[in-house]
Chain A
């Protein structure tokens, strides 16, 4: 069977989507997708389309996340949950290298064979943007993280065009969504209980034909209508209109944001937000681009085998900046400044891109609802105000 051309569109129904999952699993991939667990839509191992959160909607706002059932909701009308691609490509704990001692001599152990390649279903525009950002961190900065690369190169992505946003979404401000433009193998747009599937790569075409799907192309008119779905959502987000009865999405003025934040290291807002921030680290853990990590020695009982384990670290913890036994960023104010200034300003110097995709996770999962868009707006509104140096160092 001839694989379908790249950028061709095909109708899939639920059983076709199942055939795609089966084809991916059939070639030895671990398939990950959204499913409901513990009151949230998480990313987990997916065997059947029946596990998708069909009929579930999430309502998100500062510090709140609720799931509710809605018979009209499709399989992908929920948006992003606490997990992101980061959890799989840059896992929270991972052995980087192992050493073993034989006859008193230590040897670096050969790397473990790579785990099964991943396929992830239901990846949003903001998720693809986060992936591009992490690619720059782990592959494009002069040093290559081999563990990341091994997973990244073999990753198969089934993206989704959002047709609904929640109140914490602001991908329209960052230019990361809601439409998925590139960087996927297949992309789905849900319409009337079916999925319009765009082929994004040769690998995507191969998998579709493997799944036996080649002969349900969309008409030109249908493709036009489908393409409009995420763009209509974008227009509503730009107009800051309520979608689906949920509060209007947030927005962020990104104009000159690097210079704005770099110029305000002693703005009083840092102390203000510090009275609310618990330094709990949630925002950095759910953020799909945060990459900080520490390395721990994990020794077995004999002491003859050591795994060097990389673990996520957070700029909100005192250990993150500990030097000579003292944390450099000893106050919540200085730690919040580090998080926000790195994400929205320093990142641009480091990687030529903002570190924020507008996914809104940090707003939803902050226990006290601190909102990056609001903090930045507050600094912008009072650009240049400073606290006295004595106060700043108290």
Chain B
């Protein structure tokens, strides 16, 4: 039946609305991983673009395609965005070929944030596997501010020492009172840190489980391992949050590609509380 708009019409809910940005700076992080600082062409758009730590953007390279990439900068840093990207395929390789001044389109922000505004009286333990730390950097910067939480810890695991992310920032995080611990699968001769799985770092990081919130991002099996161990240590299931990754085309719960059981990872996630997803994560090939 013909109908008069019963639904909202504001343009911000058109998920395909893109914004043109320029690459203002590029930082080499680890092999194949670069951070891109993007500045909006239209300063007014940049000022109006607000996000919460843990949300992501769709980055678009015309003629190549789009990829979902977490926003890694401080939400208070209005006007620019930082994205840390590993070149693994079509779009991310195209980004890796760009230089300062080149154009990248952004649409977003999308998805659910890390609950860093609700942890004032809690210990927050960030657990990141590999590039998962990119999705947590903005939340870590929030947690490092006085008054955000009781204590913040960052546990970061990587395959090799050279793949540990943001190593140049750990000193600044530590100066702000954040505990930072790292672990790698294979250390090599020059490594005198710990070797093993990131779950091994939880033992020292959680000392008051009833007041601990765990925020985890990494490969699915690693996240399940972290969540289950945290539960065993006494952390409440509703104080554990995981950030999931699924391929997506729209980021607006329309394309259906990122479905995980009844959830749309783009809209209901990426950050999801473990009590909502724990059982689903154990179903093979869901």
Contacts and interface: CB of A to CB of B under 8 A. Distances in A.
B249 A295 contact: yes
B259 A155 contact: no
B63 A393 contact: no
A63 to B, nearest CB: 26
Contacts of A265: 283, 286
A141 B262 contact: no
Interface residues of B, number: 44
A152 B257 CA distance: 23
A354 B1 CA distance: 21
B13 A306 contact: no
A155 B262 contact: no
Nearest to B3: A153
Contacts of A306: 62-63
A144 B11 CA distance: 9
Among B18, B103, B286: residue with most chain A CB under 10 A:
B286
Nearest to A107: B20
Contacts of A149: 5, 7
A294 B257 contact: yes
Interface string B260-281: 0111100100000000000000
A321 B259 CA distance: 9
Contacts of B89: 325
B249 A203 contact: no
A140 B13 CA distance: 11
A323 interface: yes
Contact of B255 (A185, A294, A303, A321): A294
Contacts of A144: 7-9, 13-14
Contacts of B150: none
Interface in A107-156: 107-108, 137-146, 149, 152-156
A37 B10 CA distance: 42
Interface string B65-104: 1100000000000000000000011000000000000010
Given A320-B257, A329-B285, A201 B2 contact: yes
Interface string A202-225: 011000000000000000000000
B7 A139 contact: yes
B105 A106 contact: yes
B284 A292 contact: no
Interface of B: 1-5, 7-9, 13-16, 18, 20, 62-66, 88-89, 103, 105, 245-247, 249-250, 252-257, 259, 261-264, 267, 283-286
29 contacts: A97-B18, A99-B63, A105-B103, A106-B62, A138-B254, A141-B253, A144-B7, A146-B14, A155-B1, A185-B2, A203-B2, A204-B1, A266-B283, A294-B257, A295-B250, A297-B62, A297-B63, A297-B65, A306-B63, A321-B247, A321-B257, A328-B246, A334-B284, A341-B261, A349-B263, A350-B253, A350-B264, A389-B284, A392-B284
Interface of A: 96-97, 99, 101, 105-108, 137-146, 149, 152-157, 183-185, 200-201, 203-204, 262, 265-266, 291-295, 297, 299, 303, 306, 308, 310, 313, 315, 320-325, 328-331, 334, 338, 341-342, 345-346, 348-350, 389, 392-393
Given A106-B20, A153-B3, 13 more contacts: A97-B18, A144-B7, A144-B8, A145-B15, A145-B254, A156-B2, A262-B262, A265-B283, A292-B257, A297-B65, A320-B257, A350-B262, A393-B284
